[in-house]
């Protein structure tokens, strides 16, 4: 009987330690939205990786990362439980959610794993999004709503379609990115202030 009481006390204390109060949570300040140009990324893949799947020559999402002030990344949930006051959806559950989600088609097109293997394209993408969720999504504003986190990232991409109009796509991007990007960002900032 005494062992059972001790076990109950340990379980209750363990549960209490997992609860984070609102005062302990450090709110994020903004999201860093990173785009990638697949042809360039595939020219210099990370060690041990290669692009087996052909990708369109257009910007795709590289990441959607919660940040603290001064561009400090919010650490992953497993490193700091104080990043959210919500119990996040587990990374393993995200695979099942995205597998059945209508978002999967858009994610495959707009937030692809550039280094997915041709014969395992879908599985490699699901594992990639699981990684992104574990590292960034679990500490986002939508920590318990993975579909919202991924939908929000997809929703931003059309805002960058004007990069093509600025003649950034389809040219040697290394020579054009600063000039054209600066013009685009100035236009975006004027719209925000006005």
This prediction has a pTM of: 0.74
Token pair recorded at residue 78:
């497993």
Q: Rounded distance, CA 91 to CA 87, Å?
A: 12
- Is residue 53 scored above 60 in pLDDT? yes
| Residue bearing tokens 């650490």 | 75
In the prediction, which pLDDT does 10 show?
A: 37
In the prediction, which pLDDT does 121 show?
A: 92
Domains and CATH numbers, the chain: 19-182 (3.90.730.10)
CA-based nearest residue to 31, from 82, 69, 88, 58: 69
- Is residue 5 scored above 60 in pLDDT? no
Q: Rounded distance, CA 126 to CA 101, Å?
A: 12
CB atoms within 10 A of CB 78: 11
Higher-pLDDT residue of 187, 142 = 142
Condensed to tens digits (0 to 9), the pLDDT of residues 123-154 reads 999 999 999 999 999 999 999 999 999 999 99
Q: Rounded distance, CA 142 to CA 83, Å?
A: 12
Q: Rounded distance, CA 12 to CA 154, Å?
A: 40
Confirm if 110 and 156 have CB atoms less than 8 A apart.
no
In the prediction, which pLDDT does 160 show?
A: 83
Q: Rounded distance, CA 177 to CA 58, Å?
A: 14
Confirm if 83 and 75 have CB atoms less than 8 A apart.
yes
Widest Cα–Cα separation across the chain? 75
Q: Rounded distance, CA 91 to CA 186, Å?
A: 38
Place 44 in a pLDDT band, splitting at 50, 70 and 90.
Answer: confident
């Amino acid at each position: 009987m005494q062992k059972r009481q001790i076990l109950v006390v340990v379980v209750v204390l363990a549960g209490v330690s997992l609860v984070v109060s609102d005062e302990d949570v450090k709110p994020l300040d903004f999201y860093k939205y990173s785009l990638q140009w697949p042809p360039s990324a595939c020219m210099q893949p990370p060690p041990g990786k290669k692009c087996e799947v052909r990708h369109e020559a257009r910007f795709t999402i590289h990441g959607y990362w919660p940040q603290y002030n001064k561009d400090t990344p919010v650490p992953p949930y497993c490193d700091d439980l104080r990043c959210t006051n919500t119990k996040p959806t587990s990374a393993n559950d995200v695979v099942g959610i995205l597998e059945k989600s209508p978002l999967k088609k858009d994610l495959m097109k707009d937030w692809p794993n550039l280094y997915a293997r041709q014969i395992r394209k879908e599985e490699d993408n699901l594992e990639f999004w699981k990684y992104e969720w574990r590292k960034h999504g679990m500490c986002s504003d939508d920590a318990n709503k993975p579909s919202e986190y991924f939908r929000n990232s997809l929703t931003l991409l059309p805002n960058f379609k004007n990069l093509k109009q600025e003649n950034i796509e389809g040219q040697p991007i290394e020579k054009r990115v600063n000039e054209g990007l600066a013009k685009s960002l100035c236009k975006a900032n004027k719209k925000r202030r006005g």
